Amino acid sequence: MPQPEEVVFPRRRERFEDRRKEGQQRKLLDEFFDHATLLAVSRLISQGLFDAIDFPVATGKEGGVFRASKDGEYRAVKIYRVGNTTFRHLPPYALEDLRREASVRNFGGLVAAWTRREHTILGRLVDAGVHAPRPYGHYRNVLVMEFLGTEAGGAPRLKDALVEDPQRLYRELTDEIRRMVVGAKLVHGDLSPYNTLYWQEYPWLIDVAQAIPREHPQAKALLERDVTNFAKYLRHLGAEVDRASFLSAVGVDEVGPPAAG
């Protein structure tokens, strides 16, 4: 039986011949791929979701996103780190839901619930026609989704992308947020040029686990914050943006608790 490490990184030996890369890879393995995560990843591999992990696209304190391949196509594999730090930064409204699924001390259970939540929300977004990565599956702390990028690597964040027509981008972002609010009935809550990728000359929304139903008492305030973030950024690029019309165009009137009576 091959070790899970060899299943997850079959090409590791050929790819990382030189010592320095070997060291970087070792560090990555130690940080993200604890034994339980390796087992979770190999289970997804044996289910046929992808064949192998290629390389990290982005890594941070709370997890990492890796490119994986499957029959010459690519997939993105997002791994949440299982630990108490993962949930320290979550907004309270997002934690409410999780507490119903796992006890606060059961980090593994919380992370699994969080991963499933991101999977479900991505599915709702794709169904509503939002440009967001299509989800392919999840297990424990590992989520598999559509890879936005090319052979060379992941698509740039909007923040780092070269935008030639900011006024067009404004219209496209309006369309995406409107589909999210009116179609999927969700508010993202953490929208920014960091959580938007620019792929095939179009903005794609990512990092959606904290999204909430539009009828949530805090949904309106979060949508206003999301729109304010983008308005500022779009103006900085040179677009003419009126915050009030931006808000009404994305469907703010349909957000908030149902009127009493």
Q: Which stretch binds ligand ADP (CB under 6 A): 1-9, 40-48, 97-105, 154-162?
A: 154-162
**Position 115 contacts ligand ADP (CB under 6 A):** no
Q: Which range binds ligand ADP by CB under 6 A, 6-14, 35-43, 146-154, 225-233?
A: 146-154
- Considering the rule CB under 5 A, would residue 195 count as an interface residue with Mg ion? yes
Instruction: Using alpha carbons only, give the angle 101, 135, 207 rounded to the nearest 5 degrees.
Output: 70
Our finding on whether 145 is near ligand ADP (CB under 6 A) is yes
Pick the piece of the chain touching Mg ion (CB under 5 A) from 19-27, 160-168, 189-197, 251-259: 189-197
In this chain, which of 148, 207, 210, 241 binds Mg ion, going by CB under 5 A? 207
Q: Residue 133 binds what, of Mg ion, ligand ADP, none (CB under 5 to 8 Å, by partner type)?
A: ligand ADP
Site residues for ligand ADP, window 169-208 (CB under 6 A)? 195, 197, 206-207
CA quadruple 140, 141, 147, 150: dihedral sign: negative
Choice among 207, 226, 242, 253 that is catalytic: 207
Q: From the candidates 18, 54, 190, 226, which is the catalytic residue?
A: 190
**190 labelled catalytic:** yes
Q: Residue 199 is inside which H or E element, if any? A: strand 196-199
Query: Does the active-site annotation cover 242?
Result: no
Query: Smaller CB distance to Mg ion: residue 45 or 180?
Result: 180
φ and ψ at residue 197, rounded to 5 degrees: -105, 145
Long-range pairs of 3-10 with CB within 8 A, sequence gap ≥ 24: 4/35, 4/38, 4/39, 4/41, 4/42, 5/29, 5/33, 5/38, 7/41, 7/42, 7/45, 7/46, 8/33, 8/38, 8/41, 8/42, 8/45, 8/52, 8/53, 9/52, 9/53, 10/52
Pick what 145 binds: ligand ADP, Mg ion, none; C-beta below 5 to 8 Å, kind-dependent: ligand ADP
Shortest distance, position 58 Cβ to ligand ADP, whole Å: 3
Q: How far is CA 39 from CA 6, 8, 103, 137, in A?
A: 11, 9, 23, 15
Give catalytic residues, as residue numbers: 190, 207
